[in-house]
Amino acid sequence: MQQCCVKISDRATQSSVMLFFYYYFIHGVLAYGVPPSLEAKPPNFYDYTLERLDSFSKQDLSGLKGKVSLWVLFQPECKSCESQFNDLSCLKDKETVAVGFWGSRENLNQVIRFSKFKGKTLMANKSFEKVAELKQTPTILILNKDGYLKKSFFEKTPCSTLKKMMETL
């Protein structure tokens, strides 16, 4: 049987071949961009299943597909988070989700109980923490109908601003 590949035995030739491919790959990427197969795909937040804060049951987020949604990422003992929740009253007719990070279920639930928040309340798991890349709270994410991030805010944001952003999607 005939082999389809050429075996390169000389070390200098191997190095030359590797440099050739490396050089043309890098120049191709610089000239034409990263090939679509190598680009990192953005996370789809609606593909996740998280635990509900009010129970230990799982909440499948695929039910949000087809809806623009606003997510508030929060932690216990965050006064700005509590204030943000209380300022979301203008979004009564919008899909809202609160995701708690870095705290016990009891402490996260306490933040929700003392606020006027009426949306879904969930608890982040380790895989979701990596995807959300949370650095500070409150972090507000606005997702399009397909579940992809369209806008993020990293501080308390007026409800009117959030409502306008959601209506443009």
Q: What is the pLDDT of residue 56?
A: 87
- Whole-number Å distance between alpha carbons of 92 and 32: 46
pLDDT at 29: 54
Alpha helices in 33-158 (DSSP H): 79-86, 105-113, 126-132
The pLDDT score that the predictor gives to residue 30 is: 58
Distance between first and last Cα of the chain:
60
CA–CA separation, 47 and 28 (whole Å): 33
- Looking at residue 147, its amino acid is G
Domains in the chain with CATH codes = 45-167 (3.40.30.10)
Q: Which of 93, 89, 96, 98 lies closest to 160, judged by CA?
A: 89
Q: What is the pLDDT of residue 34?
A: 54
Return the pLDDT at 127: 86
From first to last of its 169 residues, the chain has per-residue pLDDT tens of 555 555 555 666 666 656 555 665 565 655 565 555 556 788 999 999 999 998 889 999 999 999 999 999 999 999 999 999 999 988 988 999 999 999 999 999 999 998 889 899 999 988 888 888 888 999 999 999 999 999 999 999 999 999 999 999 8
- Residue 53, pLDDT score: 93
- What pLDDT is recorded for position 107? 94
163 within 8 A of 94, measured Cβ to Cβ: yes
